[in-house]
Structure 1
Amino acid sequence: FPAVQSLWGRWAPPLERSKLVSFTYLGTMFGMVGTFSTSGLLCQYGFDNGWGSIFYITGGLTLLWVCAWFYITADTPDQHPRITEAERKYITSSIEYNTNIRTLKTPWKSIAMSSAVWACLTAHVCNNWTNYTLLTSLPTFMKEVLKFNIKNNGALSAVPYICQAVSGFLAGQTADILRSKGVLNTTHTRKLYQVSSFLGAGALLVAVGYSSCDKRDVAVVLLSLAVMFTGLSRAGYIVNHIDFAPRYAGVLYGITNTLATVPGMVAPIVAGALTPNKSQMEWRYVFFVCAGFDLFGAIAFGLFASGTIQDWARDEVEIEVKIPKEVEVNSDKKMEMVQAENEKTLVSVEPEVTYSTVVKRHVDSDPSDKMVKMVQF
């Protein structure tokens, strides 16, 4: 996932990020849908005692994907051998930083003190708590509480993730429409989708906790809607890393994703500890915990998230031009061409003046507004 974020930070034009990132994440949804739909059948009828066939088939498909990946992708638009020149210019002109300049130093202190980073981290952890709980425990809940058999269990467990795939894709499309038409700015768009994701999923999971086997169709619908709401995060915190720090999007997602995998280890343990007797009441507590994480994530992201590129993530180049003490000045024009470090720079010079000028180039977060600021010391 960090590699994908880093790649889109170099390739995705600002007003197309939501749709491109959400489309990319369809792959994870298709993977879960395919696995849930076929694992039950492979377990019963597959080769190598059933279970083995699941791993051989998924592993083989992954190897095929790797071959396609190395052929299709490139680090930057300038390095890609098969895109058109018009497409290359369009992408590179819209990205907020020069993708060909290698980042030598990561601003760790600024990252650690950034409220935007902490908002994404909190949202990532809270979202993953719900996702990992459902991913690992949903088949068990359907079997033990809703009383579905193993064949129906696998197919029905895939239904919520089909809904998530659809909602995630639509969220990306609509988010970019809102931004491109000026209905909402990037910050408000990210907050709208992420907070809606948390509150919608949390409320529906609470309702699922009151479902029983005699109303299991209702429970499946509520679960599907809850997981569908989690798909809105594709236009929320997931793409937000690229919004406020495109150059460091891979680094940031690596940090948040590492800490957000902790729920993947803890959430199943908590779910197991809360359901020793596998009763409906015990499962209700599991969903209450998920709803609590969703509520906390909504508050944190709603208060502190930002879609504006941060100062420490801006493209900055410094050039120091030193003017000699003794410069022959034309008193009429008061202009002189000064040779400085193999670069000709036209400067206005007053007699007997010595100073240095530092030129800092900052690329603004607005893709249509690139500014060059002159600062004299």
Structure 2
Amino acid sequence: MATTAEASPTTGKSNYTQDLQMDEKHIPRKVPSFCSVRYGVAYVTQLCNFTLIAHNVIINITMIAMVNGTDHQSQVNGSTERLPIDLSGDLNKAPEKLPAGGSGLGGQFALWEKWGPPHERNRLCTIALSGMTLATFITIFLGGFISQTYGWPFVFYIFGGIGCVCSFLWFVLVYDDPVSHPWISISEKEYIVSSLAQQARPSKQSLPIKAMLKSLPLWSLFLCCFSFQWLITVLIVYIPTYINSLYIVSTRDNGILSAIPFIASWVFGLLGGQVADLLLIKGVRLGTVRKITTLLGNLPSSVLLVALPYLKSSYMATVALLTASCGLAPLTQSGVYINALDIAPRYSSFLFGISRGFAQIAAVLAPIVSGYLLNQDPEFGWRNVFLLLFAINILGLIFYLIFGEADIQDWAKERKLTRL
């Protein structure tokens, strides 16, 4: 007779931390890190994320050059003539293209189930995800210069070429798992496989839809991703517009000023993964690490943006606050962004896709709502945009801090068939 046996219930420590401690004595110590195949996969994935985001960001930075190179009277209405784009017109619908990258982001998440040793997963994931902020920095930094020097079509030619290179590298260098990779060393293969040996193996099992719909930790993940994406979308879409509305600068200078905050974002994103893994090695509970990094990536960033309209007369203060806000935001990559790997490793790819879906809803709504606020109230529009951002961001953050978890949920535990 076949009976179903559940995995043993979790103890005070998370499954992630238990796996880490159980494997420590069995994992080979002397294996390459920076120049290893697994880090190579992370950097190719970083380039993939770079390409996905760059193709969307170039729309926002080239809008200024597109509109400035045409008849303003036919493209921009009187209430927004001081702004580089018509915030209520069709041009602002470009951010709706963002969901096209959702399948790419969701598909790559399955890599870390087979390529990411538990005590390196934060670093590998943040290296890969940092491609998004790196794309924002480079695209905004170079987009204005290329548009002004060679014309805005060349921005699409250049970054389109990078996308072709990325596709070639992906097909040649990235494999489903270490076992099937032809160039990985035996020591690294054993290192990865042994470090993942204690984790539950995925099996064919239907999705527990009803249990998932009732799971508050899962809903806290979705809602926090939504609120955080609202913050990120406003930063990416409106920093060039905000700077141009306050200071009379050329397209090239606007690109440089708008890019400065995102280089800080890239650096802090990489450091965040290192710090998160270090805290785990020191014995800090995984749930605590997830919530700390999520808090640090959300609260200070949204507070700093709320302060922006009150310091608009100070050029240096504006750039400093934007830099600090963008710099701290990617710390969330080591928090709620990869929390699906903790609460449901068997369904992490699917859940990451769903969480990105919630995020992309925010990516579409944020520009529409922000554009409406800016057009309705030209004097206090920016203040209203940032106050709304703060409210949405804090609500999602509070919900995650209360209900978020890092232990495998009952509905996501492995069930094995045994014979009596």
TM-score (norm 1): 0.79
Q: Which residue of 2 aligns with 1:119?
A: 220
State the SS of the aligned residue for 1:283. Answer: helix
1:303 to 389, 402, 406: 402
Q: For the residues of structure 2 that align with 1:275 and 1:247, how far apart are their CA atoms?
A: 44
Contact 1:123/1:237 (<8 A) preserved: yes
Q: Which residue of 1 aligns with 2:338?
A: 239
1:43 and 2:147 aligned: yes
State the SS of the aligned residue for 2:109. Answer: helix
Q: For the residues of structure 2 that align with 1:257 and 1:85, how far apart are their CA atoms?
A: 35
Q: CA deviation at 1:195?
A: 1.4
Q: For the residues of structure 2 that align with 1:130 and 1:230, how far apart are their CA atoms?
A: 9
TM-score (norm 2): 0.72
1:251 to 336, 350, 353: 350
1:284 and 2:376 aligned: no
Unpaired stretches in structure 2, ≥5 consecutive residues: 1-104
- 1:263-287 superposed Cα distances (whole Å, 9 cap, x missing partner): 2111111111111278452111111
Q: For 1:114-263, what aligned pairs fall within 5 Å after superposition?
A: 114-182=215-283, 184-212=284-312, 214-263=313-362
Structure 1 or 2: larger strand share?
Answer: 1
1:92 and 2:193 aligned: yes
Q: For 1:354-369, what aligned pairs fall within 5 Å after superposition?
A: 357=420
Q: CA deviation at 1:113?
A: 2.2
Q: Which residue of 2 aligns with 1:29?
A: 133
- 1:199-223 superposed Cα distances (whole Å, 9 cap, x missing partner): 11121111112121x3021011001
Q: For the residues of structure 2 that align with 1:280 and 1:167, how far apart are their CA atoms?
A: 34
1:8 and 2:108 aligned: no
Q: For the residues of structure 2 that align with 1:216 and 1:39, how far apart are their CA atoms?
A: 22
Q: For the residues of structure 2 that align with 1:14 and 1:302, how far apart are their CA atoms?
A: 23
Contact 2:266/2:330 (<8 A) preserved: yes
Contact 1:120/1:237 (<8 A) preserved: yes
Q: For the residues of structure 1 that align with 2:139 and 2:397, how far apart are their CA atoms?
A: 30
Contact 1:6/1:247 (<8 A) preserved: no
Q: Which residue of 2 aligns with 1:341?
A: none
Q: Which residue of 2 aligns with 1:19?
A: 123
State the SS of the aligned residue for 2:183. Answer: coil
1:62 and 2:163 aligned: yes
Q: Which runs of 4+ in 1 moved over 4 A?
A: 277-280
Alignment CA distance shift 1:103-1:216 (3 Å): farther
Q: Which residue of 2 aligns with 1:374?
A: none
Q: Which residue of 1 aligns with 2:83?
A: none
Contact 1:14/1:243 (<8 A) preserved: no
- 1:223-262 superposed Cα distances (whole Å, 9 cap, x missing partner): 1111112111111111211122222111001111112111
Q: Which residue of 2 aligns with 1:319?
A: 418
Q: For the residues of structure 2 that align with 1:114 and 1:92, how far apart are their CA atoms?
A: 31
Identity %: 31
Contact 1:145/1:278 (<8 A) preserved: no
Structure 1 or 2: larger helix share?
Answer: 2
**What is the root-mean-square deviation in Å for CA atoms of aligned residues?**
1.7
Q: Which has the higher contact order (CA 8 A, sep 6+)?
A: 2
